Structure 1
């Protein structure tokens, strides 16, 4: 359930902190008092669209924070895990949304930043807001099949997922067939191009890392003479009697006197001896290195030619040798496809037929299950409509499917082979017609309420909000809606914005939205009504601006009757 809602600087609400309870809540107040702002606030915390216009004039940002108390088994916890949001299902869930006057928005769940897409996905499990505009979705026949599938529950949805997987495979194979057909005109040209490219790259016999090795080899060959001259000079300096011979003579002189002062001279003698052996070893290495240097202009030209070839292939086929070889593998596969086009085409056609057959079998099973589900849904809706003072109405889900004998000509769609249309007649003896041709606004409100009541236990959404669902009804129909909302609150937390006292008196908790003018500013407040305050508000709804003892007496009587009805 929604435990608490905090609002700051949203439209005409400067600050409001409202605590809610289990059961049925109503929000009442004069027209224009700001009742819809509470709905807008809840819409924001579950990912609804926000704009800079919603920020209170003169403020930098608007803030909305909602606190949800949910059972540990509620599906929202799994959604949070899937999205990588830390949580403890034994604690409450905190959802926060901020809007700035510049139009920017930020969202947090349990203090962790989330995107608006993530917030919307989480919000789908928390709050369902039903406004008058949702009547339009009920009038769109293309959405009726989705309603039916939801009602079908796990069995139907599992079969639908199996069908969808097959249908996606079918689309993939058909796409490959289409691509193969479209390229048939260019097959000859492409084959010639691929053959040329394959020959060009294959003839080069490129090896990974070869270009780096050639660059190093090129450097060695280009500077062979310079290396030879410098190494030969270094060798001569060590071997001409001035280098090693000088160190040798210094060693001899120190050897003659080392015994006179071993503590000071012995370490220096040891270092000179070590230097002599090291220099002698380097001299021999220099001689070997010098003798191994080759100056080969022909080999250098071969290296330059090879590097030019690699650079040319890189310009055409890839920035590295690895990319060039990968491109070679790709065009060899494409060449094989072109050479074996007819064989591949036949394989794809056989795949298409097999996948189509499997998909059609699943579509038929799905259709039969939908037929049974449609009867169950229609029966339950009629039961609820009877409770909502529409007992004379007849409701049916018209399923249009292609007969089995026409299977060869069936055009499968993403949803199968079915098209569902909600049909209704509001008076006995009238033919069934699509909803948009027969239902008035008040009737649409009751049909939607019936559907919401049915789906409340299916989708496990803990908070249902009805924005003036009772528009266009009065009398016994209004009382029936009030009783239905009250019963619905046994399964979830229900909120309703209403102007009808019949609905307001059935609520477990009553909140008044009022507007005040202080100076040149407008302020909206939210107050939970109890006792005399609630009686006065019901009296206002009954009698208008003037509250009399008679209207107050009538309000008290309505509350007493409502208490009796709920108890029954």
Structure 2
């Protein structure tokens, strides 16, 4: 959810900080107070285009920071797939715009605008401004249907996706059968040469290390001999016999020297054995010029072969297997191509069959979904609405089937069904999205929803219905809503006021959280639209009380 918003020097906002809560967060304020600036600031941190005109007059730059927390495991995994590591389970997005450039950081790492948008799509959904509405995004309508039918079509969609991957791999394999006879013959000859080159090397695991050790020894034989001879000479100079005789003389007077005497005898034995071993080493390790030449040539040869085919014995052996398989394919080229074509045709038929099953299942669910959304829309003021999901077949199947799905709607009697983007205004789109979110309340993975202009053109019973829907959604999502209707504002879990202030000769917008009494006063202002009387205040308190009672029943 969205925990924190900080805005500095954007439009009328000099400096403002907001701590949002769970559930339903309501923002109210007089017309022109700067509610659109608030949404624009959040949009900047979600990837909207930066406009230098947004910078507060006389300032060098504007700055926005938003903090998200309470991420799901899926959201954290997605962030890590983009090389973004959540800090204490939080994602902190900062955006700074100046007259010359825009700077974007996520958890103190500079990111591109494209990456910011990918992150934002997983965290928050803003409804009300066309350029940020999921309802107008390609593929969203099909996603809504699939989310609604997760239990019914989830396993079938996985089967389609798996079969599609198989189909793509076979297409790529068939595309590789594109060489003429002369190309095939040249590659055959080269493969035979490479295979023979590897096989002749008769590589063995550990051979290179053994040869390298022997080569190192031959290269340094003179140093080795000199060091061994020096060690032998040192041992010759040690007169252990005299030491033993002296201790033996003393032993006759002090038995406690027995252990030292025994140790000296052991040292003498070890010294004599070591001298014999050194003599043996010097005798048998004569430099063998012929063996040195063989070691050098073999080491150079196998290293040369491995360098060409992978660098290690294991990688070279894998390369050999791959080349042998490629050789067999080229030797049976026409037969393998024919076999691949048949397998591809069979796989495509299986894929299309699965796609057809998925389409049929989707169409059944689409009727149920459309009716539920239509019912919700009717309760939110769309009196004679028609709502359907229109299916179009793609020219080729994809990983998600062969369906393209679009919401089509008729908002007025006698009008034909048309795409949402051709029919609905910003406020209408928001209420339609609210209808969809109500139906999908238990399946939507995006935790924070922001609604703007959702109450445009509604009042009375419709406003009450909209407020009930919002409250229901806020049970499972964080909802942030800008409204001018007291019926909706009364249901706030957190109520904020956006106000424009004139101080010291300049104007600025401030956002502050309201306590219970202040919230009632703001409701009274919304109810009265002017002078707040005791009767209006009593009405506001009753509205707040009724909203609390209704909330307990949701």
Find out whether 1:413 has 2:432 as its counterpart: no
Q: 1:359 to 1:488 in 2, by over 3 A?
A: same
Cα deviation 1:331-358 (Å, max 9, x = unaligned): 2333233234344334433432333233
Equivalent in 134, 144, 149 of residue 147 of structure 1: 144
Q: 1:34 to 1:10 in 2, by over 3 A?
A: farther
CA distance in 2, matches of 1:140, 1:52: 23
Cα deviation 1:451-500 (Å, max 9, x = unaligned): 333333442766542112244x3xxx444652332120342224421346
Aligned to 1:199: 196
Find out whether 1:492 has 2:477 as its counterpart: no
CA drift of 1:177 comes to 1.7
Q: 1:118 to 1:513 in 2, by over 3 A?
A: same
Farther off after superposition, 165-174 or 10-19: 10-19
Aligned to 2:186: 189
CA drift of 1:508 comes to 7.8
Equivalent in 262, 272, 277 of residue 280 of structure 1: 272
Q: Write out aligned runs for 1:252-401 (5 A).
A: 254=246, 257-258=249-250, 273-401=265-393
Find out whether 1:482 has 2:463 as its counterpart: yes
Farther off after superposition, 201-210 or 9-18: 9-18
Equivalent in 94, 100, 105 of residue 99 of structure 1: 94
Aligned to 2:85: none
CA distance in 2, matches of 1:29, 1:456: 31
Aligned to 2:83: none
* Partner SS, residue 180 of structure 1: coil
CA distance in 2, matches of 1:300, 1:21: 79
Farther off after superposition, 415-424 or 19-28: 19-28
Check conservation: 2:123, 2:447, Cα contact below 8 A: yes
Q: 1:34 to 1:457 in 2, by over 3 A?
A: same
CA distance in 2, matches of 1:456, 1:555: 34
CA distance in 2, matches of 1:504, 1:20: 15
CA distance in 1, matches of 2:264, 2:532: 122
* Partner SS, residue 32 of structure 2: coil
CA distance in 1, matches of 2:79, 2:437: 31
Aligned to 1:405: none
Find out whether 1:526 has 2:526 as its counterpart: no
Aligned to 1:214: 211
Q: 1:443 to 1:184 in 2, by over 3 A?
A: farther
CA distance in 1, matches of 2:335, 2:503: 83
Q: Write out aligned runs for 1:104-143 (5 A).
A: 105-107=105-107, 128-133=125-130, 137-139=134-136, 142-143=139-140
Aligned to 2:26: 25
Check conservation: 2:211, 2:295, Cα contact below 8 A: yes
Q: 1:491 to 1:34 in 2, by over 3 A?
A: closer
CA distance in 2, matches of 1:254, 1:21: 93
Check conservation: 2:453, 2:482, Cα contact below 8 A: yes
Check conservation: 1:64, 1:98, Cα contact below 8 A: yes
Q: 1:555 to 1:374 in 2, by over 3 A?
A: farther
CA distance in 2, matches of 1:138, 1:266: 98
Farther off after superposition, 203-212 or 358-367: 203-212
CA distance in 2, matches of 1:306, 1:190: 29
Q: 1:469 to 1:252 in 2, by over 3 A?
A: closer
CA distance in 2, matches of 1:247, 1:66: 80
Equivalent in 509, 525, 528 of residue 536 of structure 1: 525
Q: 1:192 to 1:230 in 2, by over 3 A?
A: same
CA distance in 2, matches of 1:227, 1:461: 72
Check conservation: 1:425, 1:432, Cα contact below 8 A: yes
CA distance in 1, matches of 2:546, 2:62: 49
CA distance in 2, matches of 1:442, 1:230: 92
Check conservation: 2:6, 2:15, Cα contact below 8 A: yes
Cα deviation 1:1-40 (Å, max 9, x = unaligned): x7x9554554536454557575583523332435642785
- For the pair shown, the structure with the greater C-alpha radius of gyration is 1
CA drift of 1:151 comes to 3.0
The alignment yields a C-alpha RMSD, in angstroms, of 5.0
Instruction: Give the structure-1-normalised TM-score.
Output: 0.72
Check conservation: 1:463, 1:492, Cα contact below 8 A: no
* Partner SS, residue 398 of structure 2: coil
CA drift of 1:196 comes to 1.0
Instruction: Give the structure-2-normalised TM-score.
Output: 0.73
CA drift of 1:415 comes to 3.1
CA distance in 1, matches of 2:270, 2:495: 99
Give the length in aligned residue pairs: 521
